[in-house]
Amino acid sequence: MTEIELLAPAKNLTSGKAAINYGADAVYIGADRFGARAAASNSVADIAQLVQYAHRYRAKVFVTLNTLLYDNELEAAEQLIHQLYQAGADALIIQDMGILQMNLPPIALHASTQTNNFSPDRIAFLDQLGFERIILARELSLDEIHNIRKQTTAGLEFFIHGALCVSLSGQCYFSQVLTGRSANRGMCAQMCRHPYNLVDGKGNRVILNSHLLSLKDLNLSHQLLDLMKAGITSLKIEGRLKDLNYIKNVVSYYRRKLDDIFAADAGFSKASSGNTQISFDPDPEKSFNRLSSTYFLNGRQNELINPASPKSMGQEIGVVGQVGSGFFTLTGTSALHNGDGLCFVKDGELIGLRVEKLSDHRVLVNDTTHLAPGMKLYRNYDHIFTKQLEADQSIRKVGASIGLMEEGNALLFSLTDEDQLTSVYRLEPLPEKAKDAAMAEKNLIAQLSKSGNAMFDVSEVNIHCKSAYFFRISSLNDIRRVLFQQHEQLRIKHFTAKEVQHKQAKSLYPKKAVDFSENIANHKAAQFYTEHGVEKQEKALEIGEIAADQLLMTTRYCLKYELGFCPKWQDQKNAPPEPLYLEDHNRKYRLQFDCKRCLMMVRKEQ
């Protein structure tokens, strides 16, 4: 039986607890420094609290330390790692190889997707180093994942939902070069979400003001079983900057999908304990999304970008019918509500409007200027659904039973949970016997079965006593409360982070010389590569020199293929003359195409 982990993002303690409550088997969260989302940092104390909460359900907490480190930060980073180990964190997600040269506590290490886990030889090298888990690049196909699984022993993690970086992870320098904000330091300016003109080799502007690098979001919800069969054991949701409603909705959706798979396929099982009853029907299209694709999972495809906007489009709900003064009619299957937010695309631009009122099949809005019959409409804010999410305060429950038996002059109350852990509360001396045995037993079962906001769902109470005993209801409530508290602590104590001894293998790095793209920003990282056979190395761009024609990003996404004139796979009849450029604010960025490897590079124009 293979355990499958649903891994969810946590912006903070509150969203981390919500992710656990709504079905995550693990969460990843940033500490107060050195995480790849500088806007999502948390204190060690909050992380320790989240660990305690997660471990009650056999869920895990992974902490992101996946930025590049400078020499003056190494000591602080090492101290933080030891603090996180003491806080009970289950693993660290890292990018900087200098960390492997530190005096590390016995905490598991995961190789961040920022370590550019795209090529098989690099993944094999990380595997040999002893990483417990490797987080694979989003660009990989199912066949490539299959092959990687055959050649590695580490656990494999893969993104299944959320925003996509157009560049190979860890290989984007656009933000650093143009703004001084390093994506590898958690401060990405998201240049890929900006609009650009496409300029051909003759200086013609072929496409104007279009979001040519802004990928749609990822949604692999219909291929979860394929990923599991390919060898992925951790399915990851993106979104450490997303709000609480996103966490509730998207995590619940994938929890439901996975539970249905587990019920039908005995080869896979859930990685944590407990279940959550929710009051809404989860639908990821009703949370932030830029429309969606399966990216490269099933091979190369086009329509990967949303050229109109990098903003949330939401859910397609229908087509505009009649347009009148202050109203329009809608042909579609989705019901609208007062206060809904709608959007549509006109002349390459995303335009939004608000539903003011619904009246006799008419949708009343303040402005119909840009509307026309036949337009597709999207709902990017569902007022009723949002209220349902905000109102839902579900708590994850672990199944349990309570037993009661006599032992000498004492009564033993035992709680056994779905993981077969048992704790006992001893009450002595024996209370007085009940005058009405049937009523006493009825009250006993009723009070011990209540759980309220506690984490246990008591499905049965088994009484094995020679006599019936009288209890005040308040006394039974106190006994139940103490029994629940004892058992919570037992579960936390029973599930602790696995300790890992770091014995760094002396395997050789696949290359003898590495350039700036290896992101070597401190002397420990430089020492690491030297010890693993690298004879020539460049400094990371963050501390090195920027070339006149600096490489800004490398991507498997290809504009030629997207626009339909790939020389390898498509018709070139309408191909514009090369070289091609992206242009913004009178700056140009040259596009290079490595058709043999199916990669596109964006370079700063000299």
Three-class HEC string of 144-171: HHHHHHHHCCCEEEEEEEECCCCCCCCC
Minimum mean pLDDT range among 44-48, 71-75, 251-255, 327-331: 327-331
d(CA 313, CA 333): 17
Q: How far is CA 158 from the centre of its chain?
A: 10
d(CA 199, CA 205): 4
Minimum mean pLDDT range among 130-139, 190-199, 289-298, 561-570: 561-570
Cβ–Cβ under 8 Å, residues 159 and 217: no
Cβ–Cβ under 8 Å, residues 514 and 536: yes
Q: Which residue has the tokens 């800004």?
A: 552
In single-letter form, the type of residue at position 31 comes to A
The packing angle between helices 13-21 and 244-264, to 10°, is: 30
Query: How many other C-beta atoms are found inside a 10 Å radius of the C-beta of residue 548?
Result: 8
CA distances from 383 to 335, 390, 510 (A): 11, 11, 53
Class of domain 2-164+216-286: alpha beta
Q: Which segments of the chain belong to CATH 2.40.10.170? A: 314-387
Model confidence pLDDT, tens digit, residues 368-410: 999 999 999 999 999 999 999 999 999 999 999 999 999 999 9
Q: Which residue has the tokens 């659904």?
A: 385
d(CA 179, CA 174): 8
* CA-based nearest residue to 408, from 427, 425, 424, 423: 427
d(CA 407, CA 411): 6
**Band (351; pLDDT cuts 50, 70, 90):** very high
d(CA 173, CA 180): 9
Q: Which segments of the chain belong to CATH 3.20.20.70? A: 2-164+216-286
pTM of this prediction? 0.96
d(CA 27, CA 19): 7
In single-letter form, the type of residue at position 220 comes to L
**Per-residue pLDDT for 478 more than 70?**
yes
d(CA 206, CA 435): 92
Per-residue pLDDT, 35: 75
**Per-residue pLDDT for 266 more than 90?**
no
Q: Which residue has the tokens 């009564």?
A: 411
Q: How far is CA 543 from the centre of its chain?
A: 30
d(CA 300, CA 569): 10
Model confidence pLDDT, tens digit, residues 23-35: 999 999 999 988 7
**Band (36; pLDDT cuts 50, 70, 90):** low
d(CA 236, CA 137): 12
**Per-residue pLDDT for 333 more than 70?**
no
Query: How many other C-beta atoms are found inside a 10 Å radius of the C-beta of residue 145?
Result: 20
**Per-residue pLDDT for 52 more than 70?**
yes
What average pLDDT does the chain have?
Answer: 95
3-class secondary structure per residue, 399-462: EEEEEEEEECCEEEEEEEECCCCEEEEEECCCCCECCCHHHHHHHHHHHHHCCCCCCEEEEEEE
**Per-residue pLDDT for 37 more than 90?**
no
Minimum mean pLDDT range among 235-244, 353-362, 536-545: 353-362
Q: What fold does the segment set 314-387 form as a domain?
A: Thrombin, subunit H (2.40.10)
DSSP state of 55: H
Residue 118 has φ and ψ, to the nearest 5°, of -115, -40
Q: Is 170 left (phi over 0), alpha (psi -120 to 50) or beta?
A: left
